[in-house]
Amino acid sequence: MVDGGAQEPRREVDFVDADHWIDIFQLSARWRSGPEWNAFLEELDKEQAPSHLNTCNSSGLFHVVSQDKLTVSYVGSQHHGHDVGIIQADCPVPTRRAAYYFEMTVKNSGVKGQTSIGFTHQQYKMRRQPGWETNSCGYHGDDGNLYRGQGKGEPFGPRFGTGDTVGSGINFISQVFFFTKNGELVGSVPKEIRSNLYPTVAVHSQNEEVTVNFGNQPFLFDVESFIAEERFKQQQIIEKLPLPANVGHKIVRSYLLHYGYQDTLDSFDMASENTFPPISMAQDNVLNEQGDMYALQHRKILRQFIKNGEIDSAFQKLKEWYPQVLKDDMSAICFLLHSQRFIEYIRANNLECAVTYARAELAKFFASKSFSRLLQEIVALLAYGDPSDSCVGYFLDADQREFVADAVNAVVLSTNPEIEDAKSVLQSRLEKLLRQLTVCSLLRRQLRSDEGEVFYLHRELQNNRLGARG
**Region 333-362: what's the mean pLDDT?**
96
CATH architecture of 63-236: Sandwich (2.60)
Selection from 432, 409, 135, 443 nearest residue 299 by Cα: 409
Mean pLDDT, residues 303-310: 97
CA gap 101, 219 in Å, rounded: 9
Task: Residue 434: name the closest of 415, 464, 457 by CA.
Answer: 457
**Structure pTM?**
0.72
* CB-facing half-sphere around the CA of 409: CA atoms within 13 A: 33
Q: Of 19-33, 336-350, 444-458, where does the model show the most confidence?
A: 336-350
Rounded CA-CA distance 86/63 in Å is 8
In DSSP notation, 397-419 reads: SHHHHHHHHHHHHHHHHTT-TT-
Tell me what the pLDDT averaged over the chain comes to. 85
Mean pLDDT of the region 300-315: 97
pLDDT in tens, 19-44: 345 566 666 555 455 566 667 667 66
Ranges in the chain annotated CATH 2.60.120.920: 63-236
5 against 152, higher pLDDT: 152
- Return all residues near 15 (Cβ < 8 A) that are at least 6 apart: 21, 328, 331
pLDDT, residue 348, reads 96
pLDDT (tens digit, 9 = 90+) per residue, 225-243? 999 999 999 889 988 888 7
**Distances in Å between the alpha carbon of 299 and those of 155, 261, 262, 296?**
68, 8, 9, 5
Task: Quickly state the pLDDT bin for 468 (edges 50, 70, 90).
Answer: very low
Q: How far apart are CA 23 and CA 425, in angstroms?
A: 10
**165 has a pLDDT exceeding 90:** yes
Percent above pLDDT 90 for the chain: 56
Residue 274's pLDDT band (cuts 50, 70, 90): low
Q: Give the span between the Cα atoms of 324 and 438, in whole angstroms.
A: 36
- Residues 315-334 have a mean pLDDT of 94
| Lateral strand order in the sheet of 99-109 | 63-65, 71-74, 208-213, 99-109, 165-171, 176-181, 184-190
Beta-carbon contacts of 444 under 8 Å, excluding residues fewer than 6 positions away, are none
